[in-house]
Amino acid sequence: MCGNIKSLSVWEGHELVILALEIKECLNFADSPSGGLPDPNLSLLKVHDCLRLKSLPENMDTLLPSLQILDFASCQQVESFPVGVLPTNMNCLAIDASEKLITNRNQWGLKRLHYLNQLLLSCHDCREQKCFPEEDFHKS
């Protein structure tokens, strides 16, 4: 558990080559780095149990062009993934989310994820959800 970590930052001029990043049980983690984690090689991102995190970086599509797998779980303050947050070339999206995040699924931009071949959803407190995806999901 990394209870005291509040954010991550990348020092300018330092090039990172990260293929996988896991942020787990960082209870005070509230901010993605300014501008996110620009790494063209990152292919796996896991974010679990970050109770104060409110959003993912808005421009993940350009910051993480190689991201193939996003595994996102138990970050209860995140209420939406705005269109453009999820990288278009991602092939696996695993979400264990609150009802608010699932309810706002129309904002995720799933229609943009042309390479998505695995979608794993879990919502333990979802009472109102009856159908996923919506009927017009495959229409472009």
Cα 133 to Cα 19, 68, 110: the distances in Å are 31, 21, 10
Does residue 99 carry a pLDDT above 60?
Answer: yes
**Domains in the chain: boundaries:** 20-122
Under 8 Å between Cβ of 85 and 60: yes
Share of the chain above pLDDT 90, in %: 16
- pTM assigned to the model: 0.81
Sign of CA dihedral 120, 139, 116, 45: negative
Share of the chain above pLDDT 70, in %: 73
Q: What is the pLDDT of residues 1-46, one digit of tens each?
A: 566 777 766 656 666 688 998 888 888 887 665 455 667 888 999 9
Total Cβ atoms within 10 A of residue 108: 19
Q: What is the pLDDT of residue 13?
A: 62
